[in-house]
């Protein structure tokens, strides 16, 4: 079954978060990958039912997850349950764990990994075209990547969440900048798992050697 | 924890009154001076993935005092961020 990897990339936060997905997650999963202008409702609606895992990066609120330019992708009560039934879903977005996550599980999702408050981190805006090289952003986003890789290795949703939480704790312990540290602890305390903690997906092959060594080309930036 | 960050945390515990918001802006400026002296990244920016919030998705740290002084929702967000670590 394919992976739906939806990566909005129209502003600094989405470009930073999706940049890490492009660098570390996209090369390991087969299409379907929705990037940039493709992160809209129709492509998502067509691709989601075929997948066993949905990974979404975009802006969100308690009852909604959005894609490119804040196009609505999933909203409480406004999607077909076939889009989410039996799937493991990870939403890197603000507050979707409050209402949307429980609604997705109620409509058949196996498990949802999300956040109950804002997802915040500090980026270096000068690295916006190569976000994966931003070490400050990596303190927060690499734990997310590690959790996702655990899922793609066939580990359970609960194990993946624990790996993400451990990553925040480990990075916070050595972080010197108090604001960055506060963000890590904030994200750690807001990450939740809804649904079946034992849910897992078919393991994918690990990242091939060339992708381990070579980052993607720089992202095109709006003029 | 530095005294400057401790001071910022204390101010952010207050309700978002105009006085508290100005106080937070000043406290953040003092904290930034300490951090800048350590040699930081070229353009650090606090970002979030919120939808239709009343604060910007991206706030450069050098603009944060202004945002803290004028935006009660951002003041409250910052209060939640620093409060979580206690």
User: What percentage of chain A exceeds 70 in pLDDT?
Assistant: 99
- Going by DSSP bridges, is the β-strand pair A3-7/A33-35 parallel, antiparallel, or unpaired? parallel
Residue B50: predicted pLDDT: 96
Query: Does the beta carbon of A68 lie under 8 angstroms from any beta carbon of chain B?
Result: no
Q: Do B45 and A123 touch (CB under 8 A)?
A: yes
| Residue A44 CB neighbour total at 10 angstroms | 24
Helices B3-12 and B72-83 pack at an angle, to 10 degrees, of: 120
Q: Is A212 left (phi over 0), alpha (psi -120 to 50) or beta?
A: alpha
Is A79 within the bounds of a domain? yes
Does the pLDDT of residue A31 top 90, yes or no?
no
Q: Give the range among A55-64, A90-99, A195-204, B29-38 with minimum mean pLDDT.
A: B29-38
Q: Do B44 and A14 touch (CB under 8 A)?
A: no
Is A216 within the bounds of a domain? no
B39: number of CA atoms within 13 Å, CB side? 0
Does the pLDDT of residue A154 top 80, yes or no?
yes
**Separation between Cα atoms, residue A199 and residue A112, nearest integer Å:** 10
Tell me how many domains chain A contains. Answer: 1
Is A221 within the bounds of a domain? no
Q: Give the range among A39-43, A116-120, A174-178, B35-39 with minimum mean pLDDT.
A: B35-39
| pLDDT tens-digit map of A127-147 | 999 999 999 999 999 999 999
Mutate to test the interface with B, among A14, A58, A118 (most CBs of B within 10 A): A118
Nearest to A64 among B51, B58, B81 (CB): B51
Mutate to test the interface with A, among B51, B84, B85 (most CBs of A within 10 A): B51
Is A138 within the bounds of a domain? yes
CATH code assigned at A171: 3.40.50
Q: Do B57 and A11 touch (CB under 8 A)?
A: yes
| pLDDT tens-digit map of A68-78 | 999 999 999 99
ipTM of predicted complex: 0.93
Q: Torsions phi, psi of A152, nearest 5?
A: -70, -15
Does the pLDDT of residue A120 top 80, yes or no?
yes
Is A203 within the bounds of a domain? no
Is A215 within the bounds of a domain? no
> pTM of the predicted model, to two decimals?
0.93
Q: Give the range among A33-42, A56-65, A78-87, B23-32 with minimum mean pLDDT.
A: A33-42
Q: Which domain holds residue A132?
A: 3-197
Q: Do B60 and A125 touch (CB under 8 A)?
A: yes
Does the pLDDT of residue B83 top 60, yes or no?
yes
- Going by DSSP bridges, is the β-strand pair A111-115/A88-92 parallel, antiparallel, or unpaired? parallel
In Å, how far are B23, B77, B86 from A183, measured between CA atoms?
Answer: 21, 11, 13
**Separation between Cα atoms, residue B57 and residue A122, nearest integer Å:** 11
Is A217 within the bounds of a domain? no
Is A11 within the bounds of a domain? yes
Residue A49: predicted pLDDT: 93
Q: Name the more confident of A31 and A39.
A: A39
Q: Do B47 and A136 touch (CB under 8 A)?
A: no
Q: Do A66 and B5 touch (CB under 8 A)?
A: no
Mutate to test the interface with B, among A182, A185, A188 (most CBs of B within 10 A): A182
């Amino acid at each position: 079954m394919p992976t739906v990897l939806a990566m909005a990339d129209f502003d600094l936060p989405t470009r930073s978060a999706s940049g890490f997905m492009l660098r570390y997650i996209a090369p390991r999963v087969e299409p379907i990958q929705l990037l940039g202008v493709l992160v809209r409702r129709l492509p998502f609606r067509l691709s989601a039912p075929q997948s066993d895992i949905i990974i979404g990066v975009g802006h969100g609120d308690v009852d909604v997850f959005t894609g490119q330019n804040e196009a609505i992708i999933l909203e409480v009560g406004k999607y077909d349950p076939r889009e989410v039934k039996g799937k493991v879903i990870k939403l890197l977005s603000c507050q979707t764990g409050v209402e949307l996550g429980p609604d997705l599980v109620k409509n058949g999702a196996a498990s949802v990994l999300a956040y109950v408050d804002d997802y915040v981190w500090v980026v270096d805006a000068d690295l916006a075209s190569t976000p994966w090289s931003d070490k400050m952003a990596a303190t927060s986003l690499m734990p997310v990547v590690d959790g996702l890789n655990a899922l793609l290795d066939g580990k359970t949703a609960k194990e993946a969440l624990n790996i993400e939480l451990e990553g925040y704790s480990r990075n916070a312990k050595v972080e010197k900048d108090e604001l960055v540290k506060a963000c890590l602890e904030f994200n750690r305390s807001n990450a939740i798992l809804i649904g079946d903690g034992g849910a897992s997906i078919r393991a994918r092959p690990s990242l091939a050697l060339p992708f381990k060594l070579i980052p993607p080309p720089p992202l095109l930036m709006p003029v | 924890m530095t005294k400057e960050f401790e001071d910022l945390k204390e101010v952010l515990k207050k309700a978002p009154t105009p006085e508290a918001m100005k106080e937070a802006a000043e406290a953040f400026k003092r904290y930034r001076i300490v951090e800048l002296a350590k040699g930081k990244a070229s353009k650090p920016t606090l970002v979030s993935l919120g939808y239709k919030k009343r604060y910007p998705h991206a706030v450069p740290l050098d603009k944060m005092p202004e945002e803290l002084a004028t935006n009660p929702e951002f003041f409250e967000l910052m209060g939640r961020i620093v409060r979580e670590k206690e």
